[in-house]
Amino acid sequence: MSDQEYEEAGQGPEMEIVHLLRAVVVDLGRHSARFAQRNGMHPTDVRALIVLMDAARAGKDTSAGQLGAALGLNSAGTTALVDRLERAGHVRRVRSERDRRKVTIEVDERAIALGLQHFGPLIDRAVGLLREYDERELAAIKGFLTGMQEAATQEGERADGH
Amino acid sequence: MSDQEYEEAGQGPEMEIVHLLRAVVVDLGRHSARFAQRNGMHPTDVRALIVLMDAARAGKDTSAGQLGAALGLNSAGTTALVDRLERAGHVRRVRSERDRRKVTIEVDERAIALGLQHFGPLIDRAVGLLREYDERELAAIKGFLTGMQEAATQEGERADGH
DNA sequence: TCTATTATCTCGGCCAGCAAGATACTTGTT
DNA sequence: AACAAGTATCTTGCTGGCCGAGATAATAGA
């Protein structure tokens, strides 16, 4: 981004959308934070449940180590996280049969229901919004989001020296 | 969201975009977290700088209290936050002339340069992506993001009992 | 002036996460 | 089988962000 482009930030139609996306990220973050606080959880706990439920939807088990890696926690932090979630009844620890060092984390059905109760209305609104668009418009939205996702992950790899 | 809709989650074209948006939020969050860690900062510190720079772009001063309120911190946490940022040289405390109780927080030019260095490439990619779309497609992207922002904030108010 | 209000800071404590090491299990080698 | 090395998780002790309560200082109204 050149200095000149920065001077114009917030003015062009493209920059307006960039700022809008950032605002959406912030506001959705706040939405998650409210869910966390309302249920006596921390942001990390919510992120953990999302990771676990994503894996479950894909039909995969998640071990404690995988969960910690996905969240960027070390082993001690991961143990503390799972302790909190288990104490709150949101997940269960299950020793793996094959490799008895492993602990797979299972999400409790009530935690899923709790999440649906909070995020359901927001998802409904999103689906309702998207139903108003035709195929070309949906492709544009999808293309932009996909591009931003790639950019966000690639920028990270680039700057990390991978 | 009905149970039936949940069963179908991830399958319809609308739900695909919903999951995509969530993934974008997560990945952009990670991108910010990298910036934070690379500069010895915490996520809150980055959020604070964004709040301060947004206000500055709008031509407004930000007091310590306003900053804390925007981040959901109490006064003790806000003081500690500004202490950290000031110690790192990212901001300056300036006593207001009119109301000498107030402390306005000014962002140092080097912090702005640091932010541009990190987020600039990502913004460039976003602008580049958006330049490929025509007006109707841009309107669709903008409309969807605006709708999601409204939904995220309104859901919060609703459930908070406002 | 006296009181109430507002803005920030100070103090003490809680708790999430880290670093280092312990424990338990698995795998590869002999 | 026995031993060493590797792997997954847990334990311990500590750091530091944030909170609650209260102190300090400045402004505003009667």
- Say if the Cβ atoms of B130 and A9 lie within 8 Å: no
- Does residue B34 belong to the interface with chain A, where contact is any CB pair within 8 Å? yes
Please, what are the domains in chain B?
9-131 (1.10.10.10)
Strand C contacted by A28 CB (< 7 A): no
Strand C contacted by B79 CB (< 7 A): yes
Residue B88 has pLDDT above 80, yes or no: yes
Nearest residue to nucleotide C24, by CA–C1' distance, is: A101
Nearest chain B residue (CA) to A153: B27
- Say if the Cβ atoms of B38 and A126 lie within 8 Å: no
**Phi then psi for B45, rounded to 5 degrees?**
-60, -40
Residues in B 88-107 with any Cβ partner in A closer than 8 A = none
Residue A93 has pLDDT above 80, yes or no: yes
Number of H helices, E strands in chain B: 7, 2
CA of B101 vs chain A CAs: smallest distance (Å): 30
| Type and span of the H or E element at B31 | helix B13-38
The pLDDT tens digits for B138-152 are 999 999 999 999 999
Residue A103 has pLDDT above 80, yes or no: yes
From CA A65, how far away is CA A93, in angstroms rounded? Answer: 12
Taking a C-beta distance cutoff of 8 angstroms, is the pair B31, B42 a contact?
no
The pLDDT tens digits for A9-43 are 446 788 999 999 999 999 999 999 999 999 999 99
